Amino acid sequence: MLEIRPSCEHCDKDLPADATDAMICSYECTFCADCVDSVIENTCPNCGGGFVPRPVRPAREWRPGVSREKQKVGEKRVHKPVDGHAHGSFIATLKNIPPEKR
C-alpha cells in the first residue's frame, strides 16, 4: 500500500492526501510539482528515478474497507532539502537519460 506522506521533502510544503500537485518516485519519495520541475529536474535525489503524480486515495468508502478513513495517510514529515550543488553533479549525466531507461 502506498505511503501517503504529508509534505514536500524539499520545500516542506503541505501535500495533503487530496493534493493534486504531489509527485512520487517508485520509493514514495514525495515532492511538490514545482520542486520536481524546477529544483530536482524530475530526478529523485535519493534513488535517481523519475516522478509521477501521486494518486488521491478516496476519502469515502466507495468499496468496503478501502478509503482514507480506513487506511490513514502518513503523518511523518520527511524534510531533507536538496543541496543544489550536489544535486547538480548527481544529475549531470542522469538528466539526459529518460526515467524509463535509468
* Residues forming the site for Zn ion (CB under 5 A): 8, 10-11, 13, 25, 27, 29, 32, 35, 44, 46-47
Nearer to Zn ion, 27 or 59 (CB): 27
Side chain identity at residue 76, one-letter code: K
Q: How far is the CB of 13 from Zn ion (least distance, A)?
A: 5
If residue 53 lies in a helix (H) or strand (E), which one and from where to where?
Answer: strand 52-53
Find the angle CA(22)-CA(3)-CA(91) to the nearest 5 degrees: 55
Q: How far is the CB of 59 from Zn ion (least distance, A)?
A: 23
Q: How far is the CB of 63 from Zn ion (least distance, A)?
A: 30
Nearer to Zn ion, 28 or 61 (CB): 28
